[in-house]
Amino acid sequence: MRKKSGLTIVEQATETIEGFAAAWKLLDQQVTLRGQSHSTLDNYIRRIAQVSLHFGRLPEWVMDEEINEYLTGLALSAKSASRSSFKHAVYGLRYYFRLIGQNKRAIALPSLKKEAKLPVILNRSELKELFKAPTLLKHRIVLTLVYSAGLRGQEVTNLKLSDIDFERRTIHIRQSKYKKDRIVPLADNMAKGLKKYLQAEHPHLWLFNGHEPDGRYSVRGLSWVMRESLKKTTIRKEVTLHSLRHTYATHLLEEGLNIVTLKELLGHAHIATTMIYLHVAQCPLIKAHSPLDTLYAQKK
């Protein structure tokens, strides 16, 4: 997020808000010590920077009434981006207040109710249309890969060439969310597509090279590919890049995969997270019966 000055909002806060640099350092240390991802740090520090720039001082020097007025403005905004900012501002402030020992202020912040929204799923015809839409082979491959392995955007950008094992047909996802590694299957068709992509693009180190400082592709870039590809299709559902992961999970359930295995493939920490897909999967219904009836069922 860059302003016209060319500085990010965090850089602006560092230059203009007294004590912000020290707060950033403290937040960085805590996120590292707790084993949280850098994307978590980036999100939190951006929210603290926004609040600090709005008031011209760090949050601990802002009155509760002022913060509530600020959050109310975000919550009541007609713009979906502002409503999202409200949620993340609460998360960021809560984390920050606890970090500096102001637990009462953290508890006093508005509670956030989880939206009871089901994930939007693409059907198989829509997937085929989407995967044909991009002009560049690289873009077709990256979208297909997200669906084929149920990957998060960050997991795609972190993939290295060495993480793809064509002989064993596996993808090694390293230190993803919750600092966990996992292995997921590499589909045969995906393997063919990746080999074609590698021969054409000759990436080095990272599976998908991009313009990040270390040479990898960015999650923003992936999201852009998804948005631009959708414009070329007849798909009118409100979907994002992450919808391909939702679709992967739902389709596997519909094809009979048990939910415990699906939990491991998705890298979920809790089975309750995976169970959301039971509400959208169109699984065949089995009439209620006693297992005794099938125990002695006659062989045909």
**How far apart, in Å, do the first and last CA atoms of the chain sit?**
66
Residues 6+ apart with CB under 8 A from 224: none
Query: Using CA atoms, how far apart are residues 201 and 250, in angstroms rounded to an integer?
Result: 32
Question: What number of other Cβ atoms are within 10 A of residue 178's Cβ?
Answer: 11
- For the chain, the C-alpha Rg in angstroms (whole number) is 23
Q: Which of 47, 245, 251, 263 is catalytic?
A: 245
Q: Which of 94, 105, 152, 263 is catalytic?
A: 152
Residue 170: helix, strand or coil by DSSP?
Answer: strand
Cα four-point dihedral sign 81, 87, 88, 89: positive
Note if 57 is an active site residue: no
Q: Which of 88, 174, 177, 182 is catalytic?
A: 177
Note if 268 is an active site residue: yes
Note if 279 is an active site residue: no
Note if 2 is an active site residue: no
Residue 53: helix, strand or coil by DSSP?
Answer: helix
Query: Using CA atoms, how far apart are residues 231 and 234, in angstroms rounded to an integer?
Result: 8
Q: Which of 47, 140, 251, 268 is catalytic?
A: 268
Question: What number of other Cβ atoms are within 10 A of residue 237's Cβ?
Answer: 11
Note if 277 is an active site residue: yes
56: left (phi over 0), alpha (psi -120 to 50) or beta: left
Residue 171: helix, strand or coil by DSSP?
Answer: strand
Question: For residue 223, which of 200, 243, 248 has the smallest C-alpha distance?
Answer: 243
Note if 177 is an active site residue: yes
Which of the residues are catalytic? 152, 177, 242, 245, 268, 277
